[in-house]
Structure 1
Amino acid sequence: MSDLAEQVAAWENDTAVDAISAAERKRVYTALYQSHLPKLDDAGIVDYNQNRGIVELSTAAEQIDPYLEMDARDDITWCKRYLALAGVGSVAVAASSFGIPPFGGLADLSLAVLVVVAFALVAIAHTVDARNAPTTGEQSPAIEGE
């Protein structure tokens, strides 16, 4: 239990285990002892012996692994895709204003429709991706000593 409290405190404070303060460790220890571990024990996720301070994963913990796995895709974030599309749209509008091909021959309304359709397609792809993504894409923190 003590090792677990130290590791969680280090994750929460984005620091190494040996750099956490006694207050940070105690705050996490108290929360684990009074709330989190008893609830996880009741749910069958961990086997928690409160008197001895021993915590072990139960065999049922494997059932929640798919929900805890992180999406390790290393692709472009959606905000960058929208930003790039806005940049391309701006360049297209500027090219149209100055008569630069191929946008110079497009009517303003046609160009506006083209940009709106492009944003709609990216938004649809974003929605589909978000619905199919198992997690937020955050990397899980490394456990010291592994």
Structure 2
Amino acid sequence: MSVSKLDEEELEPEELNRDEVFEMLSNQRRRWVLHYLKQQNEDRVDLRSLVDSVSSWEYETPADELPWKKRKRVYTSLRQSHLPRLDESGVIEYDRNRGEVALTNEARKLQLYLEYVPEDDIPWSHCYLGLSGVSAAITALAWYPVYPIGELSAVALGALVTAMFGLSAVVHTYHSRRNRIGHQGPPKR
């Protein structure tokens, strides 16, 4: 194997394992960094605008109204800890000398790990399983002429089942977009 081939292999970032992803995403500031970068249309963003947005979200105050010390605290932690960690993992490119940050293609893979279910909610898989059960019950009631389902035509039954799944899919899509990194607006806490 040639020396250049060895160098190329050493430079390729390793695939993140699940534990590394969860450890990396366990920090709110790192999630805010990823959220901000996904919102931007530019390839690279300057560190100052990133710090202003993360500070604003963290303290729930516009950046220009924040005391210098609070923004400095966020700046220091991003510059010394969080951005280097995200850069090491290959999720972002962080140019410390220029003060620029950019997302990499690896960041797209993280979205899968951010799909979560709040405590007071049910997983979408359970919702679709329940809809399948309701659809099976409706079909059984239509098979045996049980009022009012037995009175419906096959087209009406099909439309009812389609409407149930369609409405559920619309709600699921809306819910997923709100939880996605880079959606418009401040990130969810």
Larger Rg: 1
TM, length-normalised to structure 2: 0.38
Higher relative contact order (CA 8 A, sep 6+): 2
